[in-house]
Amino acid sequence: MIFGPYMWLLIPGIILGIYAQIKLTSAYNRYLQVGTHSGLSGAEAAREILDHAGLADMPVEEIGGHLTDHYDPAKKALFLSTDNFHGRSISAVGVAAHEAGHALQQQAAYALFNLRMWLVPATQFASVAWMGILILGMFLGFTKLIGLAIGIFSVMTIFQLVTLPVEFDASRRAKDQLVKLGLVQADESGAVNKVLSAAALTYVAALVTSVMQLLQFVMIARNDRD
């Protein structure tokens, strides 16, 4: 296995990733069973936030799958998974508000949000190109190809680095709006924070994994030069 000598570098990311998923599943499922005092569904909460921000024309649509919730900046639309679209729980409202937070970022021309959008095409290319170029470079012994592969992979690491503050900021905007608009009460805000913090940890894990994998490739390249 060409990556064998440095596989240990991936262990921190793997452990953190597993922990983050367990944390998210635990927090989300726990508060999926707890209704909000307002009785609003996730879709209704998102609608309230968007309308208050002057985004009444922005659609909030249902999408299949589990935790497939996302904001599409190209379509300027929110997509909520079935549980969160119809659910009237703290988890549903928290996740829906987080996605609405991304819409508020785009409306405010938040610089890091715009940077992440700009990076998306390059990241999509990098995700399918780096592995083939790296393997080809190592097989043929072409250090320039290996360096190119590492450079391409670094684009994904930069994307993860930019994504982290964007996600934290979306959660901050979500929590601010939920309290400001009275969509959650003071005694519910802590539960919302637990759900969104657990979700944010998955992005921390993704960044750690990407950084450690990039370091792994750099060490492999240096070793091949020696």
Active site residues: 99
Only one residue has tokens 């979700």, namely 199
- The rounded Cα 144 to chain-centroid distance in angstroms is 32
Look up residue 134 and give its amino acid. Answer: L
Interatomic CA distance for residues 43 and 48, integer angstroms = 9
Kindly report the number of other CB atoms within 10 A of residue 195's CB atom: 25
Nearest Cα residue to 148 out of 221, 99, 81? 221
Torsion 160-165-166-171 (CA) sign: positive
